A = this chain, B = another copy of it.
Amino acid sequence: MPTPSRRRQTRPDAPEAPDASDAPAVSTPRRRATIHDVAEHAGVSIGTVSRALNDRAGVHPDTRLRVLASAAALTYDPDKAARELSNRRAVDIALSVAHGYRRLTPFFGLFLQHLSEQLAVEGLQVREVASGDDGLPVRDADAFVLLDAHPDDPRIGHLARSGRAFVLVGHAHDVRCVAADDVAGGRIAAEHLLRLGHVDSVHLTADLHAQAFADRAHGFAAAFEAAGADQPTTIVADDASTLGGYRAMRAHLEGGTRPGAVFAATDELAIGCVTAAADLGLRVPSDLSVVGFDDLPELGARLTTVRQDIALLARETVTLLHEALAGAAVRAVRLPVTLVSRGTTAERRNR
């Protein structure tokens, strides 16, 4: 076995360890182990270590085990910069939320989490989450993910004109985009409610300017029409927050009408709605059935809702990102939604 070539250590700055005593004191911010350390520890070469850790073929099972053990013993964590550099994978992806983090809805928060997980799997990185006050991404990047965009968002035209790779999470014409099938979502919410006998439903939404909300409303209304039922009343809240939903619903209920069910365009609106009903002494679901949209984990643990698969949304986003980078043809994808029936809907009571 050839002696492992000594690591070169020529750079003369080394500002880290003030006392370079070799004993690794318990809480010393220890130097990160590199692949060389693992190789030395396991008595193999760095090539073998890399192959073993990346599940590449051509390494003996025993050796692999030994390498894995060494890596664990040294708490080896591959340097991401080096890996990216070597992989030619250094794709900068800028995430552009219309107004930065500050207006991040729980839905987009969850999406972000899935997206960065998905990208991490491929060794990619979300490099930036920001946009200037003009809404334009503040730095240059190889690809952009646009959140929260109206069809006429200035960012779309800007990115398209400059030939940048980007994908829109939402829906618009002639751009690469991905979104849940909102129309279908509205429809299955309606069908669920109709099946329970609720012909007197209302739709609680906000800002029908937003494509997603318009589509959900449309799907909902269309299903009622198809069933020969009366068109549902639409209530438009000031915004899509829980407070918006609460006030709009409370005002509506206090107006004297007592719908048997409400389809909220968002889980947040639904929560506001449920809260308003409770404050007015109405029991959910016996007095009022409520269907939400999104299926956010902890927000509506007990909410009957139209579920969209956020993990899938993130995966599709990444797929489209790759297509954009490769210069493929523009494509719009619609993701299926399902109704998950939980505790906030029940059969219509006779009054």
Q: Residues of A at under 8 Å CB distance from B?
A: 11, 16, 26-29, 32, 75, 77, 79-82, 84-85, 88, 90, 92, 99-104, 106, 108-110, 112-113, 116-117, 120, 125, 127-130, 139-140, 142, 163, 165, 241-243, 246-247, 271-272, 275, 279, 296-299, 325-327
Contacts and interface: CB of A to CB of B under 8 A. Distances in A.
Nearest to A133: B297
- Tell me the interface secondary structure of chain A in the complex: mixed
A109 B116 contact: no
Contact of A116 (B26, B108, B130): B130
A29 B326 contact: yes
B102 A110 contact: yes
A162 to B, nearest CB: 9
A275 B297 contact: no
A105 to B, nearest CB: 9
Given A28-B327, A125-B125, 14 more contacts: A29-B327, A75-B140, A80-B92, A82-B85, A99-B298, A100-B110, A102-B109, A102-B297, A102-B299, A103-B106, A113-B129, A117-B130, A242-B243, A243-B246
A99 B80 CA distance: 25
Contact of A104 (B80, B101, B271, B275): B101
A32 B142 contact: yes
30 contacts: A26-B163, A28-B327, A29-B163, A29-B327, A77-B140, A80-B90, A81-B85, A81-B90, A82-B85, A82-B90, A85-B85, A99-B298, A100-B110, A101-B110, A102-B106, A102-B298, A102-B299, A104-B104, A117-B130, A120-B128, A241-B242, A241-B243, A242-B242, A242-B243, A243-B243, A243-B271, A243-B275, A246-B246, A247-B275, A247-B279
Given A32-B142, A116-B130, A242-B241, A100 B109 contact: yes
Contacts of A26: 163
A127 B129 CA distance: 12
Contacts of A113: 100-102, 129-130
Given A27-B163, A247-B279, A112 B101 contact: yes
A210 to B, nearest CB: 18
The 9 closest A-B pairs by CB, nearest first: A101-B109, A27-B163, A81-B84, A242-B243, A243-B243, A81-B85, A81-B81, A81-B90, A102-B109
A322 B26 CA distance: 19
A42 to B, nearest CB: 20
A211 B242 CA distance: 26
Contacts of A112: 101, 129
